[in-house]
Amino acid sequence: MREIQASQFMTKTNRLVVLRHGESDFNIENKFCGWHDAPLSEFGIQEALTVAIPALEQSQLEFDVVYSSVLSRSRQTAELVLCKLNCAYVPIKEDWRLCERHYGDLTGYKKRKIADRYGEQQVQAWRRGYDCVPPPIEESNRYYYTICSNPIFDDVPPGKFPLSESLHMCVDRVEPAWNEVKQEVLKGSRVLMCVHGTVARALVQHIEGISNEAIEKVNIPNCVPRVYEFDLNSGGLIGSAINLGDQEYIRRKTAQVAAIGD
C-alpha cells in the first residue's frame, strides 16, 4: 500500500499584515487629518522603527508586495518598514481608494476644540458612528484648496472625489481595493497593507465580517502589525487576528485612539 504523506492533509495558508501608519504631525496635535497630506512626525518615524519593525522581525514575516495609499504618511511608513527589513526592492503599490476617510470641514481642527463647540457626543458620532457624515469641507477651510488641487489625487475618477465621508462611505470605497488585494493573497503573494486608521477599520469589517455596530467600537493603534491567516483552498479566514507586540502597550495605545484627547 502506498504510504500516505502527512503533508497531503496539511492546509495551505498565507498571511496578510495590516499596519496603520506611524503618527503624523496632525496626530500629534490631535487634529482631524483625513485627506490632508500630513507627513509622519519624528515620533511617528520612531514608532515605525521601534514598534512595527521589531514586531515584524521577531515574527520573521516577509513580503512580496506592499499596498499604501497615495498619502505620504502611508507611503513613508511602508518605505521605512521595507528599508529596515532589508527588502527595499519589494514594490509599493499606491491606491487612492486606501486613503484615510475624508473628515470634511473638521479637517485641520483639534478634536478637543470641536468637542467643546459641538459636544463630545456629536464628535464621537462623527468619529465612530457608522453613517454619521461630518459637514462637507468648504472653501473657507484653510486646507480646502491644498487638498482639492493636490496632484496625488489625479487618479480619483470624476465624481468620486469626496468632500466628506462617514465610516460607511469609507468602508464602501475600500471594498473593491480589498477584493483585489485578497485575490493576490489567495494566489500566494505575501502582502503588507500600510494604511490609515479608518481604512484599517474598514479592512477589519471586510475581513472579519463584523457588524456595523461592532466596527464602531474597533480602534486601531499606530504601527501595531495585525496579522491574518487565510486558507488558500477555501479563501476563508483561519482563526482570529493577531496583534504583534507588547500586549500592554497595545492596550494602552488602543485606549488613546478611542479617546477624544486634549
Ligand-binding annotation for 22, yes or no, is: yes
Residues in the chain: 262
Between CA 220 and CA 257 the distance in angstroms is: 7
Residue 100 annotated as part of some ligand binding site: yes
30 among annotated binding-site residues: no
d(CA 229, CA 208): 11
- In degrees, rounded to 5, the angle at the alpha carbon of residue 169 between the alpha carbons of residues 34 and 203 is 80
DSSP 215-230: HTT----TT--EEEEE
What φ, ψ does residue 20 adopt, rounded to 5°? Answer: -75, 135
Known binder of ligand: residue 206? no
Spatial neighbors of 250 by CB under 8 A, at least 6 apart, are: 221, 224, 243
Query: What span, in angstroms and rounded, lies between the C-alpha atoms of 71 and 34?
Result: 10
**Contact 97/203 with Cβ under 8 angstroms?**
no
102 assigned to a ligand binding site: yes
C-alpha cell at 176: 473593491
Q: Is 175 annotated as a binding residue?
A: no
24 marked as part of a ligand binding site: yes
The response to whether 149 counts as a known ligand-binding position is no
Q: Is 139 annotated as a binding residue?
A: no
Which residues, in sequence order, are bridge partners of residue 192? Answer: 17, 66
Q: With beta carbons less than 8 A apart as the criterion, state whether 124 and 98 touch.
A: no
Return the active site residues: 21, 100
Asked whether residue 2 is marked as a ligand-binding residue, the answer is: no
User: Phi and psi dihedrals of 123, rounded to 5?
Assistant: -65, -40
Residue 204 identity? V
Using the 8-state DSSP alphabet, how is residue 24 labeled? B
Q: Residue holding cell 490631535? A: 30
Asked whether residue 155 is marked as a ligand-binding residue, the answer is no
222 is in an annotated binding site: no
Which residues carry a binding-site annotation? 20-27, 73, 100-103, 111, 127-128
**Residue set of the binding site for substrate:** 20-27, 73, 100-103, 111, 127-128
